[in-house]
Structure 1
Amino acid sequence: MVKISYTKLKGSQNMRLRLLLSTLSSTPILIEDIRANATLPGLRPHEVSFLRLLEKISDDCFVEINETGTKLKYKPGIVMGGRHLVHDCGESRAMGYFLEPLIVLALFGKKPLSIKLRGVTNDSKDPSVDTFRSTTLPMLKQFGVSSEGLDLKILSRGVPPHGGGEIILSVPIVQDSLKAITWIDEGMVKRIRGITFSTRVSVQFENTTLHSARGIFNRLLPDVHIFTDHKTGPQAGKSPGYGMSLVAETTSGCFISADNAVYRAQEEDEDGELEDEGKKWLIPPEDLGEQTASALLGEIEQGGVVDSTHQGLLFLLCALCPQDVSKVRVGKLSPYGIQVLRHIKDFLSVKFVIKPDPSTGTVILRCVGCGLKNLSRKLS
């Protein structure tokens, strides 16, 4: 029997990113001291759920967790993809936590992926499913991903604490490899689109949110359309809440997004301590509209071809490109973006050249991709 050599890592930071890069680079990993000193040690429910999702879409994937959950062995398998898969994401994190790595892995699968996810569609921590539909999927097209078969349908919405949302995600496979890009022109904002939603509350919440956001944007540009999505009955999930997702499209085809949601929830902090119940309900709808609109304007002001929540994904896709130079412009580097750059260097041996552009306050990054090919796809 061949002995497997595991790359040793410590701590719970960037668990999802480590598992994603381990799978893409076929590197078995051993993670120790996972919240060993916390009040509730070990893996969190959403991390265990993500491991189950990896098992569902992969073949020959091996996961071993010790009794306390503080030690994890993971040997990646072959990403298979497949149709009619179903996964329950649980209620501790929103679907956005699962969608980003799932989309990247699905591109390098044996077959196109079609999966139904259940759980929380909108919260204030992870990007909403609306943001993935309006911003993340169009971004993949820059890297040569076919728009045919790339889709996200929202069947029902769910907010914390009890979720109840459902979506269907479809992702095609990359026939050979991604396409290296030069993407440094962010252009000027030409239109703003958005959606406000409400579940198990009055439709008036949506209208108030919409009008307060429009009040800010109408002073700046004429082409602003914000749609409403009022859910009732089974489509409204199991908890009351409301929220907003906005996206600005530029003249050069960039999509910059911002979103937020309000709900009553018992929130856990990093150590598993419960925070005050009902704290999230303190934002009235008019403030939510203003805050989300201001957040979007802040992202636009930073510059760059993507917003700060998409930086990590952009760097990862650049690193997976063929062995050719990719060049991208982003605003101020986000903490998560910096972590992604470090982990890409460790797992894929891809280094980025980072050059600040003082005239615009942006940063230009260059890298030569690792040349990952989709070897598991079916050859006709």
Structure 2
Amino acid sequence: MRRFMTTLAIDGSTLEGGGQLIRNSATLAVLLRKQIAVHNVRANRKPPGLKPQHVAGLNLLREISNATVTGIEKGSQTFTFHPNAVTNGEYLADPGTAGSITLLLQVSLPCLLFAPRELNTRIADSDVNEIQPQNSVLTLCGGTNALQAPQIDYTQNVFLPFLHRHLALDGIALSIVRRGFFPHGGGRIRVQVPMRSTSLPAVNLTERGDVTSVRGIAYVAGTLPIHLAQGMARTAERVIMDANTGTARIEIDVIQYAKDRAGAGIVLWAETQNGCVLGGSALLDRKDRPEKVGEAAAQELVRNLRHGGCVDEHLQDQIIIFLALAKGRSNVLSGPLTLHTRTAIWVAETITDARFETKELEGGQVLISCEGIAYGEHPEVTLAHIEQPDVSSS
């Protein structure tokens, strides 16, 4: 008997009402094989509707999950997304702009981590457990160091280490083929994504520990002079030292990237004795002095360190999907909740059976708790990947 699925309506203007709501909704819809219809897309932005970056991300998920979609086009304020089974493989996404590469990674990584085993031949049920998982490969284009998104260096040094240390997600290999900056883009990364055959462990991260080191990069590219990066690094180091963060080890590399595209910025990250990594970053605008940019990145890092949490304000919302998918109860200590995080929690509770609690503590800290759904606890090979026997003559 054919099973009919109900379409879940999602209001894209809820809370933060931006692109993150779109990405998280589509990602969880793919993982849980739920049909969604999103209206009021990016209603809290001017102009509203999908931008090329969102279109590229949704089309990437469409390809990964062989989804049936409507309204996936620039400017659209409504769309539907009806996913099928996820297939591992090699995928390319290119918005044709300087849109953030790391946001394309955010939307696709959870889906490919749990891609089902791929079967190209007829198999018996008894052979299912002997199938070896295959890696997927993502080629993502656009801006590696883009506005209003995590810079690729943050993803490499803060986000991915969190997945490795606290969620046992090993083997994710990210390589930067070419840097891309606003407004021209042109960046490219390749990411190898291993398939996970078991559920994620719960995360218990409530004791940050002392800061052991602060590291970072200050960079320029194109014809911008190296002294701009030196000014950013020098000022950032001074701000961190003056803030008495508890570490005497500060190492900020000054880097000159390729001459064929212009851009500049700084990314900082602090590591603690309990395996926490918190970041701060900023991009250099033409009208900014490098000292101002270095100061902004350092102040962001210092602000998050002073909050006393185990994750910074940008990592907060990025881990919500993973906490929702994990097995058991997770507890993560953070600073004040951002609107992005509250939106990510709303989306997770709307689409999954995960349940979150947030408790404000003294000093502005917040304990984020989640009872996850143990996604992947019983991995199955989907019927879409199995050649069914011909019973027409029987």
TM-score over 0.5 for the alignment? yes
Structure 1 residue 130, shift from structure 2 partner: 0.4
Q: Give distance in 1, aligned partners of 2:48 and 2:299.
A: 38
Structure 1 residue 299, shift from structure 2 partner: 1.2
Per-residue CA deviation, residues 89-140 of structure 1 (Å, 9 max, x unaligned), is 3325211222222222222123322212111111231000000000111101
**Does residue 171 of structure 2 align to residue 117 of structure 1?**
no
**Does residue 292 of structure 2 align to residue 287 of structure 1?**
yes
Describe the shift of the 1:70–1:293 C-alpha distance in structure 2 as closer, same or farther (beyond 3 A): closer
Correspondence for 1:210: 233
Structure 1 residue 144, shift from structure 2 partner: 3.8
- Among 22, 26, 29, the alignment partner of 1:19 is 26
**Does residue 254 of structure 2 align to residue 228 of structure 1?**
yes
Describe the shift of the 1:232–1:256 C-alpha distance in structure 2 as closer, same or farther (beyond 3 A): same
- Among 355, 374, 382, the alignment partner of 1:371 is 374
Aligned residues of 2:11 and 2:38 also touching (Cα < 8 A) = yes
Q: Does the residue aligned with 1:246 lie in a helix, a strand or coil?
A: strand
Aligned residues of 1:45 and 1:92 also touching (Cα < 8 A) = no
* Unaligned 5+ runs, structure 1: 263-279
Aligned residues of 1:130 and 1:245 also touching (Cα < 8 A) = yes
Aligned residues of 1:315 and 1:340 also touching (Cα < 8 A) = yes
Aligned residues of 1:175 and 1:377 also touching (Cα < 8 A) = no
**Does residue 325 of structure 2 align to residue 302 of structure 1?**
no
Q: Give distance in 1, aligned partners of 2:331 and 2:43.
A: 40
For structure 1, which segment, 361-370 or 33-42, has the greater mean C-alpha deviation from structure 2 after superposition?
33-42
Describe the shift of the 1:2–1:316 C-alpha distance in structure 2 as closer, same or farther (beyond 3 A): closer
Per-residue CA deviation, residues 71-96 of structure 1 (Å, 9 max, x unaligned), is 3110122222324x332133252112
- Among 315, 319, 331, the alignment partner of 2:320 is 315
Aligned residues of 2:140 and 2:190 also touching (Cα < 8 A) = yes
Q: Give distance in 1, aligned partners of 2:381 and 2:306.
A: 41
Provide the TM-score with structure 1 as the length reference: 0.86
Per-residue CA deviation, residues 179-215 of structure 1 (Å, 9 max, x unaligned), is 1122111111110010112111112211121111122
Amino acid at match of 2:141: R
Q: Give distance in 1, aligned partners of 2:168 and 2:40.
A: 38
Describe the shift of the 1:230–1:342 C-alpha distance in structure 2 as closer, same or farther (beyond 3 A): same
Amino acid at match of 2:253: F
- Among 91, 111, 118, the alignment partner of 1:105 is 111
- Among 346, 350, 361, the alignment partner of 2:354 is 350
Aligned residues of 2:165 and 2:275 also touching (Cα < 8 A) = no
Query: Cα RMSD (Å) of the superposition?
Result: 2.5
**Does residue 84 of structure 2 align to residue 77 of structure 1?**
yes
Q: Give distance in 1, aligned partners of 2:340 and 2:212.
A: 28
Q: Give distance in 1, aligned partners of 2:47 and 2:312.
A: 34
Aligned residues of 2:220 and 2:226 also touching (Cα < 8 A) = yes
Q: Give distance in 1, aligned partners of 2:235 and 2:48.
A: 43
Per-residue CA deviation, residues 280-325 of structure 1 (Å, 9 max, x unaligned), is 3221111111111111101111221111111122222111111x22
Aligned residues of 1:349 and 1:370 also touching (Cα < 8 A) = yes
Q: Give distance in 2, aligned partners of 1:41 and 1:286.
A: 34
Q: Which structure has the greater CA radius of gyration?
A: 2
Aligned residues of 1:116 and 1:166 also touching (Cα < 8 A) = yes
Correspondence for 2:94: 88
Q: Give distance in 1, aligned partners of 2:139 and 2:263.
A: 22
**Does residue 203 of structure 2 align to residue 172 of structure 1?**
no
Correspondence for 2:390: none
Q: Give distance in 2, aligned partners of 1:113 and 1:357.
A: 41
